[in-house]
Amino acid sequence: MIIQNDWFDIRKISESGQCFRIVKTGENRYRAIHLDKLIELERVSDDTTILDCSYDEYEQLWKDYFDLRDNYVYQEFKRLADEYVGIGEDYIKKSVENSRGIRILRQDRWETLISFIISQRNNIPRIAKSIESLADNIGKCGKHNNINFFAFPTCTSIIENRYIVSDLGLGYRDNYVISAANVVAQCGIDYINSFDRVKQLYGVGDKVANCYCLFGLHQLDAFPIDVWVQKIIDREFKGSTEFLNHFKGYEGLLQQCMFYHERKLSGKLVTLTAN
DNA sequence: CTCCAGGCCCCGA
DNA sequence: TCGGGGCATGGA
pLDDT, tens digit, for every residue of A201-259? 999 999 999 999 999 999 999 999 999 999 999 999 999 999 999 999 999 999 999 99
Give residue numbers, 200 to 229 of A, with CB < 7 Å from strand B.
202-209, 211, 224, 226-229
Å: A41 CA to B6 C1': 26
Check if residue A231 sits with its Cβ under 7 angstroms from strand B.
no
Please state, rounded to an integer, the average pLDDT across all residues of chain A.
Answer: 98
pLDDT at res. A237: 97
Rounded distance, CA A34 to CA A108, Å?
7
pLDDT at res. A130: 98
pLDDT, tens digit, for every residue of A74-118? 999 999 999 999 999 999 999 999 999 999 999 999 999 999 999
Name residues whose C-beta falls within 8 Å of residue A226's C-beta, 6 or more positions apart in sequence.
A207, A259
Burial class (CB in 10 A: 0-12, 13-18, 19+), A101: buried
| Nearest residue, CA→C1' of C10 | A126
- pTM score of the predicted model: 0.98
Q: Write the DSSP symbol of residue A247.
A: G
Does position A275 have pLDDT exceeding 90, yes or no? no
Q: Which residues of A11-29 are buried (b: 16+ CB within 10 A; e: fewer)?
A: bbbbbbbbbbbbbbeeeeb
Does position A126 have pLDDT exceeding 90, yes or no? yes
Nucleotide nearest to A230 (CA to C1'): B6
Strand partners, A149: A142
Query: Residue A192 — very low, low, confident or very high, per pLDDT cuts 50/70/90?
Result: very high
Query: Residue A36 — very low, low, confident or very high, per pLDDT cuts 50/70/90?
Result: very high
Check if residue A17 sits with its Cβ under 7 angstroms from strand B.
yes
Does position A9 have pLDDT exceeding 90, yes or no? yes
A63 included as an active-site residue: no
Å: A139 CA to B1 C1': 39
Nucleotide nearest to A208 (CA to C1'): B7
